[in-house]
Amino acid sequence: MSSKLIAPSILAADFANLQRDINMVNQSEADWFHIDIMDGVFVPNISFGMPVLKAISEHAKKTIDVHLMIVDPDRYIKTFAELGSNVLTVHYEACTHLHRTLQAIKAEGMKAGVALNPHTNISVLEDTINDIDLVCLMSVNPGFGGQSFIENTYNKVKQLKDLITRKGASTLIEIDGGVTNKNAKQLVDAGADVLVAGSYVFKSKHQMDTIKDLKALANS
């Protein structure tokens, strides 16, 4: 079985000590950097933008997984590629022409991801799943770190896994929001491949150990 990946969410890092926190992730057993970009329109919060991502990618030594919570993401696909994004995830709810957006992301040499809000049914991906490298299932309403995990996510992971299998796709399933040691194992058992964890990692006392333990749990 392929190994399950851990992606610490930099949204929960200490921005006054960003280089320290990036180095911690570099040295840890984490697999990816998860980077949340919020525009204050698609979600009721603004996180950080291009200059901060540029600084992160200059120091990050692992895959950069960018989660765009912005309207009309097509405008910035090229820019995010230039800033070092390896995976670029757009929201299904923010894309009028999702198929075109996915092709544009791939044309820039990135993996193409689609995020689904908690209220969005898996069935909307029926006709695009074979074009998607990663589906990010939101297990909280996007916009903020530190929220409680929505239990219905387990059902959605199973439904998504069934869709991927039925269509013969090789799409990865990522879970984003409220991930801790309490739900990690059940999520991978349901079919998850990538676990994003923000507060659980960065608010813990021994961050590298927290990542190590989460990774061991996900691969147990």
Give the residues lining the site for ligand DX5 (CB under 6 A): 9, 11-12, 34, 36, 67, 140, 142-147, 176-179, 196-200
- What sign does the dihedral 150-152-158-163 (CA atoms) show? negative
The distance of closest approach from Cβ of residue 180 to ligand DX5 in the complex, given in angstroms and rounded to an integer, is 8
The residue (of 62 and 167) whose beta carbon lies closer to ligand DX5 is: 62
* Cβ-contact 65, 7 below 8 angstroms: yes
Six-digit token pair at 175? 């879970």
The distance of closest approach from Cβ of residue 113 to ligand DX5 in the complex, given in angstroms and rounded to an integer, is 12
Closest to 74 in 3D by CA, of 52, 50, 94, 46: 94
Annotated binding residue at 170? no
The mark string for 44-73 relative to Zn ion (x by CB under 5 A, - otherwise) is -----------------------x------
* Cβ-contact 143, 44 below 8 angstroms: yes
- Which residues pair with residue 194 across a beta bridge? 5, 174
36 is catalytic: yes
Q: How far apart are CA 52 and CA 21, in angstroms?
A: 13
The residue (of 49 and 167) whose beta carbon lies closer to Zn ion is: 49
Q: Residue 39, interface with Zn ion (CB under 5 A)? A: no
Annotated binding residue at 144? yes
DSSP E strands in 10-142: the ranges are 32-38, 63-69, 87-91, 111-116, 134-138
176 is catalytic: yes
- List, in sequence order, the alpha helices (H) in 49-206: 50-59, 77-82, 98-107, 153-167, 184-190, 199-202
The distance of closest approach from Cβ of residue 115 to ligand DX5 in the complex, given in angstroms and rounded to an integer, is 8
Choose among Zn ion, ligand DX5, none what residue 199 binds, the Cβ cut-off being 5 to 8 Å by kind. ligand DX5
Q: Residue 91, interface with Zn ion (CB under 5 A)? A: no
Catalytic residue of the set 21, 133, 176, 193: 176
Catalytic residue of the set 21, 36, 39, 133: 36
Annotated binding residue at 178? yes
Closest to 86 in 3D by CA, of 112, 104, 68: 112
Q: What is the DSSP letter of 150?
A: P
Residues classed as catalytic: 36, 176
Residues at the binding site for substrate are: 9, 67, 143-146, 176-178, 198-199
Residues at the binding site are: 9, 34, 36, 67, 143-146, 176-178, 198-199
Residues at the binding site for a divalent metal cation are: 34, 36, 67, 176
